[in-house]
């Protein structure tokens, strides 16, 4: 199934704004992240866990255990600094 990926701020600067990938049905956000990190050195560096990096599924902040569905939008980004 196809999943839309979005990256922001420092992560966007490494990986670009957007990509679309094919993943097996039933995959979790954490498993998706592992696949991405295994795919390239840039992904491994940009998506490394920690430093408050967060992810969102369909515009809502999520845990890595969240299950991704067909056509979902998954985003990875650094800590929020608005206001």
Partner 1 sequence: MSIRIQTGDFDLGAEVASLRAADPAVGAVVAFVGCVRDHNDGSDVSAMELEHYPGMTEAAIEASVDQANARFDIRGVRIVHRVGVLKPQDQIVLVAVSSPHRGSAFAACEFLMDHLKTQAPFWKKETTPQGKRWVDARVSDDAALARWNLPTPTSTGDVR
Question: Taking the CB of residue 9, how many other CB atoms lie within 10 A of it?
Answer: 12
Question: Taking the CB of residue 27, how many other CB atoms lie within 10 A of it?
Answer: 19
Q: Tell me the residue length of the chain.
A: 83
By the rule CB under 8 A, 81 interacts with partner 1: yes
The Cα 51–Cα 19 span in angstroms is 23
- Residue of 8, 23, 35, 42 that binds partner 1 (CB under 8 A): 8
Which region, judged by CB under 8 A, interacts with partner 1, from 18-26, 38-46, 47-55? 47-55
Binding site for partner 1 (CB under 8 A): 6, 8-10, 12, 30, 33, 49-50, 52-56, 59-64, 75, 77-83
């Amino acid at each position: 199934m196809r999943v839309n990926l979005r990256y922001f701020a420092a992560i966007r600067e490494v990986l670009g704004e957007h990509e679309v990938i094919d993943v097996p049905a039933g995959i979790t956000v954490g498993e998706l992240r592992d696949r991405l990190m295994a795919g390239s050195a840039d992904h491994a560096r940009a998506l490394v866990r920690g430093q408050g990096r967060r992810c969102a599924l369909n515009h809502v902040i999520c845990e890595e255990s969240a299950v991704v569905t067909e056509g979902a939008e998954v985003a990875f980004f650094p800590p929020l600094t608005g206001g």
